Amino acid sequence: MTGAELKQLRREIGIGTCDMYRLLGLPRRTYQDYEAGKRGIPESVAIAAKEAHRRDREFFASLPDRIDARILKQFPDGLIK
């Protein structure tokens, strides 16, 4: 994984660098160096970033179904009477 790819994953998740380095459990400067291409990105960090991206996509993909289920639970007879 390149620094540009890491940055793209972070942007697709929709978080800033501060949140991303905290999410990955990395020091700020280390993460910044990864994105800037000043350091090689270890495989463990690449895997963790890809997993965060996958979880984010799954969360938002399932959101409409979860909202619908919540509405049905709260209003079993429907919203309009």
The 10s digit of each residue's pLDDT in 22-78 is 999 999 999 999 999 999 999 999 999 999 999 888 887 888 888 888 888 888 887
| 11 — pLDDT class (breaks 50, 70, 90) | very high
CB 7 within 8 A of CB 35: yes
The residue among 64 and 16 whose pLDDT is bigger is 16
Cα–Cα distance measured from residue 65 to residue 43, given in angstroms and rounded to the nearest whole number: 34
Q: What is the pTM of this model?
A: 0.73
For residue 81, pLDDT beyond 80: no
Q: What burial class does residue 21 get, using C-beta atoms within 10 Å of its C-beta: 0-12 exposed, 13-18 middle, 19+ buried?
A: buried
